Structure formats: C-alpha cells, structure tokens
Amino acid sequence: MCLDTIMISGTAGRNRKTVYLDNAASTPVDDAVIVEMIPYLKEQYGNPSSIHRFGRDTGRALQLARRRVADLIGARPREIIFTSGGTEADNLAIKGAALQARKQDPERRCIITSSIEHDAILEPCKALESSGFDIVYLPVTADGLVRPSDLKDTISKKAGRVALVSIMYANNEVGSIQPVAELASIAHAAGALFHTDAVQAAGKIPVDVNNAQVDLMSISSHKINGPKGTGALYIRHGVMLHPLIHGGGQEFLVRSGTENVHGIVGFGKACELAREKIGLYGAVRELRDYMVSKVLGGIAHCRLNGPDDQAKRLPTNAHFTFYGVNGEDMIIKLDEYGFAVSTGSACSVKKQKPSHVLKAMGFSYEEITGSLRITLGLQNTREEIDSLVQALSEIVGELRSLSPFKEKYD
C-alpha cells in the first residue's frame, strides 16, 4: 500500500509519512478486491433473486464468493450465510440459537460466554437476559484466557439447561487466542451448541471449523482487507437458528434481504487472498516481536499485556501499558506524529468507558488508562516500526514530564 508523506502541524516542522497501525479496527482494502467489485457497481447490477440473465450473473457471483469464504475456514458453501458484518453474524448466532433452543426445549435457557467478549456478543446476551435467559460470564486469567475447567464447572452446575456457549476465537484488544477446540468439546458433551466470534482470527491464523469443532462462527470482511458492511456466519449443517430478519427468505431462509452483491464479491476475493497469504503472517509476527523488544527495551515503566506465550497471541497484536501516561493522550500525540493506533475496540470507543476486557483481566485503573493497542498488517515495515518507537519514546517522555507524579517515573 502506498503511504503519502504529509506535513504534521505542531511537530517542529517534521515531515512524516502516515503510518497505519490500527489493523484490528479495520484494514486497507486490497487493490485486487476493489477491481473485482467494480463490475458489480456498474454493469452487473441485477438482483441475484431475479431469474433473468442479470440476476443469474449476480447469483453466480454470490456462489463464487460463498465458496471462497467457505474455503478460508474449511466449511461447505451451503454452510455460509452472508450478513451485514460481524455484529449481525454474532447477533444471529446468539439470538438465533437461543430462541430456537427455547422453542425446542423451554428448560434450555442458559447461555455461557466470557467476560472479555466483544460488545457484539455482550449486548445481545444482555438483551436475552432481559427476556428471561440466564447468562453466565466466565472469568479469564491475567493473560486474557478462558480456563476450560471454569467452563466445565459452570456447565455441571447448569446441567441440562445450557443452550449455547460463545467464546471468541481471539480477543480484539490483547490478542489472546482461546483453546476453542477444547472449549467446544466441553460444550458438546453437555448437549450445547458452540459459537465463536472469529472476526479477529480468520485470515490471520489458520482457522478450520472442523478442527475447532464449532457449530457457529462469525467472520468479517473489513478485518481481512475487504470492504466494510459485509460479513458471514458459518452454520454447521443440521444446526437450526431462529431467523432475526424476516422477508423474502434470501440466504437459505435464515437471513432475508437482498444481498449486498458488490460487498460480498469483495469479501469473497478478500477471503481468497487471505487464504493465499496466510503464511506471510509469520513475517508480521517477527515484526511485532521486533517492535515489542524495541518498546520494552527503550521505554521505562512499560509492560506488555496479554499472554506471555506469544504463540497464544495473534501475530498482529501488541498491547502495552505505559505507567504514568494516559492512553488517549498518547493516541492524540501519535496522530500528530503521523501514527494511527488505538487503546482498544474501535466499536466501543465512543462510549468513553474503561475497557471491560482489561478490567476482567484484573488491571488497575492506572493500568487501564495507560494502555495502548498497536496492531500490524501485511503492509507495515521495520522502518515504520523504528519511527514509531522513536516517536513513542518522545511522547511518553513529554507526557510524563507534565504529570503531577513525574518523580515516580524518573
């Protein structure tokens, strides 16, 4: 990806190129994806439900995209339901499974999830709780990992009443990769379905629905260099969900509404490219590790958060706490220097609330407010990381010098 050089005001006249390091929030759309989408914004504008040539052409494009998405996660095309994104896929999985279970067995009204899930899981769980469902939130370790023993203990206490277990594949803030296959096996032994939000994981690490033993899996296009507004839910053959959107019965009667054809075409191409490029994330992991060593070695009173075992962390993720500094102040200053980073989930930043993920991991208020998430993509380089670390060192030093507790960090 070509990065423009811009003049940043307020940085002593330095010329710096803009460097994007917030790939967990969204990723740049691949040029090949855009090229594939354009015909479906211009010439191929038919409704895929129509039976004339225009409709048949767009219908074939949907089926190709469905196969490409399925291939990325080891599924069958018929098991892929297109949605408007990861949030809708999560809602369809959680609410659809819960409502279907209640219809089949009124006693199965318990849903188990973790305390560090994305809001796209937590909010539908809250909605179901208000309508009589029993929601259990599993704790996590200081590394951000769910203990299988906690799930097993919880299920034993809710014998015969658990309809669904939903544990994310990898966390969007600290990058912790959960033992999904082991957790799914525990859920199945109790007769419950297992869903995983794989929005952060798919396309960055090998993800296979059969190896993971999941019944439901959510993925999103814009996390893997595809367009926004498109996602998918994998539904294992034989699993029934109660539809949330009723209408013409598109998407195998599970999700009605005319499909976002150009977005789905782009999503499919992005999945094809992600499958081809999955091996390149080894180099991203090396670059991430290089950045971590430079930050920890060059900036005092700094800590890396998440799993100590880097194999249990997404290759793109590094999450730090800088003591004595406010994370939002760092983001603003880094933006002035030409670096885009974040403190956590872009989907909940407007709520201006402390990270529920870090709270669940046992962080203090100071540790939460001093956090910074840096997430790399295939486009990032070592030169960019060197520039980032230099800028970060200057910024942390400047902000600490203004702190009323600066003596503590001298």
Residue 256 exposure: Cα atoms within 13 Å on the Cβ side: 9
Contacts of 8 (CB under 8 A, 6+ apart): 14, 15, 16, 336, 337, 338
Report helix, strand or coil for 305: strand
Type of residue at 60: R
Task: Kindly give the interhelix angle for 327-337 and 382-401, rounded to the nearest 10 degrees.
Answer: 130
Q: How far is the C-alpha of 205 from the C-alpha of 351, rounded, in Å? A: 30
Q: How far is the C-alpha of 271 from the C-alpha of 5, rounded, in Å? A: 30
Residue 302 among the catalytic residues: no
Dihedral of the alpha carbons of 112, 116, 120, 123, in degrees to the nearest 10: 70
Neighbours of 117 (CB within 10 A): 24
DSSP 8-state class, residue 342: B
> What strand order describes the sheet that includes 371-375?
302-305, 317-322, 371-375
Give the DSSP H/E element, type plus range, for residue 125. helix 119-129
**Closest Cα partner for 138 from 161, 117, 109?**
117
Q: How far is the C-alpha of 361 from the C-alpha of 203, rounded, in Å? A: 26
**Closest Cα partner for 162 from 205, 113, 206?**
113
Q: How far is the C-alpha of 336 from the C-alpha of 394, rounded, in Å? A: 12
Residue pair 23/375 in contact (Cβ under 8 Å)? The answer is yes
DSSP 8-state class, residue 202: B
- Residue 108 tokens read as 């199965």
Catalytic residue among 110, 271, 302, 347: 347
Q: How far is the C-alpha of 195 from the C-alpha of 193, rounded, in Å? A: 7
Catalytic residues, which ones?
Answer: 347
